[in-house]
Amino acid sequence: MANDKVASFLLKPFAKACKEFDLLGEGDRVAVAVSGGKDSRTLLDLLLRYRERVPFSYEVVALHVVGTAAGLPDLTGMLAPWFEERGVAYRFVPLELPPDEPLPMSCFRCSWNRRKALFLAADGLGCNKLAFGHHADDAAVTALLNLLFAGRLETLEPKVDFFGGRITVVRPLIYIPAKELDRYARVVGFPPTPPCPHESDSRRQQVETFLRGFGHHQARIRANIWRATRQA
């Protein structure tokens, strides 16, 4: 099948990241942050496929933060049958906001609250790993954001321990460009998800637009940015 062929292609950089940064191991219980978009859906698919190829076992639990409290669309009706089709355990996590949280939230505050919900849910389910669908393009954009607005050359780390190692964040897609994830989504037929209503106002989106302005040069530019952060 076409999706098997594309998945096999993606599993090469996926496996490279997992091996190079020691992202997965025997007995891991991995919570996967599934927003509903193509990146996180592909991440879940690849984690399930990769498990069939490695000589060790790990568990996978899909987590989706229901963001209706922040004015985001309810995707539970779409995601539940998709999770069940893949035979993966899943949990819908409500986004609980502080009483004094101003709405609409900034992208930073929204992300912070959603990550808090994911960490709490992962810990409550006994997961020692929390997987995010950040890819190579995300790493380049994050590096530019940190350089432009914080004055430091840092990017997304493939593996980061939190709470004394109780939970480790892993990013197995870190070597995969966004265009390859787009291709997988088209082949598999992932339905489009509604965009965040505040996405166009975010600094991240502005930097993405800036990079896209370089046309066919942007792939090399993004790769150079990632390389620079690893050497810094």
Total residues belonging to the chain: 232
Percent of the chain with pLDDT over 90: 65
Amino acid in the structure at residue 105: M
From the DSSP assignment, how many helices (H) and strands (E) are in the chain?
A: 8, 6
Q: What is the mean pLDDT of residues 58-86?
A: 93
Helix (H, G, I), strand (E, B) or coil at 145: helix
In the chain, where the domains are located: 2-231
Which residue, 2, 1, 5, 75, is CA-closest to 40?
75
pLDDT band at 10 (very low <50, low <70, confident <90, very high): very high
Res 3: pLDDT = 81
Torsion on CA atoms 66, 69, 70, 74, rounded to nearest 10: 40
Taking 70 as the threshold, does the pLDDT of residue 186 lie above it?
yes
What span, in angstroms and rounded, lies between the C-alpha atoms of 7 and 30?
20
Q: DSSP string spanning 87-114?
A: T-EEEEEE-PPPTT--SSPPHHHHHHHH
pLDDT band at 32 (very low <50, low <70, confident <90, very high): very high
Q: For residue 163, how far is the Cα from the chain centroid? A: 20
Res 54: pLDDT = 97
Domain at 2-231, CATH class: alpha beta
Residue 202 or 32, more confident:
32
Res 73: pLDDT = 86
What span, in angstroms and rounded, lies between the C-alpha atoms of 155 and 174?
11
What would the pLDDT profile of 140-157 be if each residue is shown by its tens digit? 999 999 998 889 989 999
Residue 222 or 36, more confident:
36
Res 108: pLDDT = 80
Res 216: pLDDT = 85
What would the pLDDT profile of 86-117 be if each residue is shown by its tens digit? 999 999 999 988 888 888 777 788 888 999 99
Return mean pLDDT, the chain.
91
178, 218 Cβ separation under 8 angstroms = no
What span, in angstroms and rounded, lies between the C-alpha atoms of 158 and 205?
22
